[in-house]
């Protein structure tokens, strides 16, 4: 992906893909960004791509915590969704409505369930084996 250029009609989708690539490449320190191309499409490229050195990339959010319903609708309506969004939406869409309502009504701490699951796998924040005891200290804060 180092010198590949991927284009999207939507800035949100380009930013989301760049965020995902940055997350996936966090150990090899390859960084990606979104930039408006001359065609009017939003491009996802490596920050050190020779054709884009010195160009101004769009700022990527540090968190998606404040994502609004319009953004979620754009993701939901996408006919060619980014794989990680498809996985996340799939996890939620297979739950029955009563379970979803129960989660919301009683504010079930899904982040804690995720942390508990990750601790039980024995890997650290960067997906490196560290053992179950160390994983507990990492994930169960």
Q: What is the pLDDT along the chain (141 residues), one digit of tens a residue?
A: 668 999 999 999 999 999 999 999 999 999 999 999 999 999 999 999 999 999 999 999 999 999 999 999 999 999 999 999 999 999 999 999 999 999 999 999 999 999 999 999 999 999 999 999 999 999 998
Q: Is residue 79 part of a domain?
A: yes
Domain span at residue 114 reads 109-139
**What's the pLDDT at 108?**
98
Q: Are 48 and 84 members of one domain?
A: yes
Contact 58, 48 (CB under 8 A): no
**What's the pLDDT at 141?**
87
Q: Are 51 and 77 members of one domain?
A: yes
* Farthest CA pair distance, the chain: 52
3 state SS of 41: coil
Q: Is residue 126 part of a domain?
A: yes
Q: Are 14 and 79 members of one domain?
A: yes
Contact 21, 43 (CB under 8 A): no
Q: Is residue 35 part of a domain?
A: yes
Q: Is residue 103 part of a domain?
A: no
Number of domains in the chain: 2
Distance CA 66, CA 32 (A): 22
Q: Are 15 and 50 members of one domain?
A: yes
Q: Are 116 and 49 members of one domain?
A: no
Q: Are 113 and 70 members of one domain?
A: no
pTM above threshold 0.85: yes
Q: Are 78 and 117 members of one domain?
A: no
Q: CB-based contacts of 141: which residues, under 8 Å, 6+ apart?
A: 115
**What's the pLDDT at 3?**
80
């Amino acid at each position: 992906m180092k010198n590949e250029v991927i284009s999207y009609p939507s800035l949100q989708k380009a930013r989301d893909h760049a965020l995902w690539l940055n997350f996936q490449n966090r150990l090899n320190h390859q960084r990606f960004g979104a930039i408006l191309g001359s065609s009017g499409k939003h491009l996802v490229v490596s920050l050190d791509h020779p054709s884009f050195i010195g160009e101004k990339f769009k700022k990527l959010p540090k968190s998606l915590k404040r994502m609004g319903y319009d953004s979620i609708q754009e993701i939901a309506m996408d006919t060619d969704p980014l794989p990680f969004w498809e996985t996340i939406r799939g996890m939620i869409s297979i739950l029955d409505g009563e379970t979803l309502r129960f989660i919301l009504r009683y504010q079930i701490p899904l982040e804690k369930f995720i942390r508990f699951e990750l601790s039980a796998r024995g890997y650290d924040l960067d997906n490196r084996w560290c053992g179950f005891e160390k994983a507990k200290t990492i994930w169960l804060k």
